[in-house]
Amino acid sequence: MPAHLRSIAMALPEERMPRAAWAAIADRITPPDVDRAVLARLADRSGIDERGCAAAGAGAAFYPDPGAAPPPGTAERMALWSRTARTLAARASADALARSGVDASRITHVITASCTGFESPGIDAHLIETLGLPRTCRRLNVGFMGCHAAVNALAAARDAVLADPGAAALVCCAEVSSAHFHRSSRLDQLVANTLFADGAAAAVVCAEAAPAHSPPAGAILATHGVLIPDSAGEMRWDVGNHGFEMTLGARVPDILRAHVGPWVLDVLGRHGIDVSDVGGWAIHPGGPRVIDAVAEALGLAAKATTPSREVLRTCGNMSSATLLAILARLRDASTPTPWVGLAFGPGLVGEMVVVG
């Protein structure tokens, strides 16, 4: 019996930040030696019109003017992550449960993912308490894996259901990337400041298909991953004294352009699927250049990347929550299956989910 993606739901912060508002924050937190024209170009080329930003709601006290106060330390950033991630995770998960038609008492596994914060007890325990899930739920946290963690979380949910058809898994990805904006002159950190956003997405996975009145999704047919050789230094995510620090190499799009095609074609071939058979593509928008590189590697038409670009435009890069958001867009548009989701993170690692 297959593991069905029974429902998907999203939650975004109340603090919504249009591009012009980001320009003002970027101007305040960026060192004076950085040309402001560079900041403007990064914003214009980001593909983002608006994104969630809990740090903006924290006000100037969280990101004060340079020289007025030191930047927030890791503990302060974790506090922002904790209160925001818990709120967003509970909202997204409650909505996913309601959409699924699966009673909270039936949930047997809670699988959470976040790379923007740590605490124990964590989001999983918070969801059990807040949503009234069984206290006997098996819990798993996919921590610090970055943008591709949703695939790992879905893989764990699928494994649970295939092992026990009576299982029902709640998957929740919650990220507060704005907790880690940095004052830096490094171009890659300026890019990270520009792209990353806050949000949560949740899904329910079980053996039964979604009810007839629900938008169609499908079964999680397979997940696959690949560690791309000689790329470990191109993307990193480290814990520093002033929050988590992203390293983004300029070669990432070129590396993906060279490696994604052979990997994806090989995997799809093993499942008897041709690129032309794929009804919907969910390409994690690490940025417009990442989408471009993957599309070129696979020879995809421009319209195949529209769902990814629309999520980037309206939500920003919400790290692990983003792939689920794109899958939800495919579902809402009644996009025919199979769907292929692709995401990339530190390593450099590619992760794939096939939904059919």
Which pLDDT tens digit goes with each residue over 230-262? 999 999 999 988 889 999 999 999 999 999 999
Q: Does 236 lie in the same domain as 201?
A: no
pLDDT tens track for 132-143? 999 999 999 999
Q: Which long-range contacts (CB under 8 A, 24 or more apart) does 269-277 make?
A: 271/221, 271/222, 271/354, 273/338, 273/354, 275/299, 275/300, 277/338
**Taking the model in full, what pTM does it have?**
0.96
Q: Does 236 lie in the same domain as 190?
A: no
Residue 308 lies in a domain: yes
Q: Does 13 lie in the same domain as 110?
A: yes
Q: Which two tokens stand for residue 12?
A: 């975004």
Strands 109-114 and 168-176: parallel
Q: Say if residue 209's pLDDT is above 70.
A: yes
**Residue 213 confidence class, pLDDT cut points 50, 70, 90:** low
- Mean pLDDT along residues 196-204: 97
320 three-state secondary structure: coil
Q: Which domain holds residue 348?
A: 218-355
Residue 211 lies in a domain: no
Q: Does 91 lie in the same domain as 228?
A: no
Last residue of a domain, one of 206, 229, 254: 206
Q: Note the pLDDT of residue 72.
A: 87
Residue 103 lies in a domain: yes
DSSP letter at 265 equals H
Last residue of a domain, one of 159, 182, 206: 206
Last residue of a domain, one of 173, 206, 239: 206
Q: Does 235 lie in the same domain as 189?
A: no
**Please, what is the average pLDDT of the chain?**
94
* Low-confidence winner among 2-11, 26-35, 344-353 (lowest mean pLDDT): 26-35
Residue 290 lies in a domain: yes
Q: Does 250 lie in the same domain as 170?
A: no
Q: Does 247 lie in the same domain as 127?
A: no
The CA distances from residue 77 to 55, 188, 219, in Å, are 9, 20, 37
pLDDT tens track for 284-340? 999 999 999 999 999 999 999 999 999 999 999 999 999 999 999 999 999 999 999
Q: What is the percentage of the chain residues whose pLDDT exceeds 90?
A: 83
Residue 213 lies in a domain: no
The count of structural domains within the chain is 2
Q: Does 118 lie in the same domain as 224?
A: no
- 49, 200, 206: which is closest to 117 by C-alpha? 200
From the CB of residue 191, how many other CB atoms can be counted at a distance below 10 Å?
19
Q: Does 307 lie in the same domain as 231?
A: yes
Of residues 240 and 126, more confidence is placed in 126
**Residue 167 confidence class, pLDDT cut points 50, 70, 90:** very high
Residue 156 lies in a domain: yes
Residue 112 lies in a domain: yes
Alpha helix segments (H runs only) across the chain: 19-29, 36-45, 54-58, 74-100, 123-131, 149-163, 187-195, 252-270, 288-298, 306-315, 321-332
Query: Residues with catalytic annotation?
Result: 147
Q: Say if residue 215's pLDDT is above 90.
A: no
Residue 330 lies in a domain: yes
The CA distances from residue 228 to 50, 231, 263, 265, in Å, are 32, 6, 10, 15
Report the C-alpha gap between 233 and 57 in whole angstroms: 34
- Mean pLDDT along residues 146-168: 97
Q: Does 145 lie in the same domain as 38?
A: yes
CATH number, position 346: 3.40.47.10
Q: Note the pLDDT of residue 58.
A: 72
Q: Does 222 lie in the same domain as 184?
A: no
Of residues 304 and 15, more confidence is placed in 304
End-to-end CA distance of the chain: 13
Q: Does 184 lie in the same domain as 240?
A: no
Q: Say if residue 272's pLDDT is above 80.
A: yes
Tell me the Cα Rg of the chain: 19
Where b means 16+ CB within 10 Å and e means fewer, 121-138 reads ebbbbbbbebbebeeebe
